[in-house]
Amino acid sequence: MKKKLAKIKYLPNNFEIVEKGDHVICAISGKTIQLEDLNYWNVELQEAYHSYVEAQQKREQS
């Protein structure tokens, strides 16, 4: 399964794959995040972030 956008349900300490794929898109930078590298997300907003930098930017915007 290459280059297919996954649909994810973000949970407090994990995530659930709703539709199979190999990556998601960062809500701030638009960068591709491979699922095995996905470490930062917001459960309330159901958004993924490429790194702590983008996650912090989102927190500062709120």
Name the residue ranges covered by the structural domains of the chain: 7-61
d(C-alpha 53, C-alpha 3), whole Å: 24
Predicted confidence at residue 13, as pLDDT, reads: 94
d(C-alpha 44, C-alpha 35), whole Å: 19
Predicted confidence at residue 16, as pLDDT, reads: 97
Residue 39 has pLDDT above 80, yes or no: yes
Rg of the chain on CA atoms, in Å: 11
**What tens digit of pLDDT does each residue of 9-34 get?**
999 999 999 999 999 999 999 999 99
Q: In the chain, what percentage of residues exceed pLDDT 70?
A: 98
Q: Smallest Cα–Cα separation from 9: which of 53, 60, 44?
A: 44
Count of residues in the chain: 62
Q: How confident is the model at residue 54 (pLDDT cuts 50, 70, 90)?
A: very high
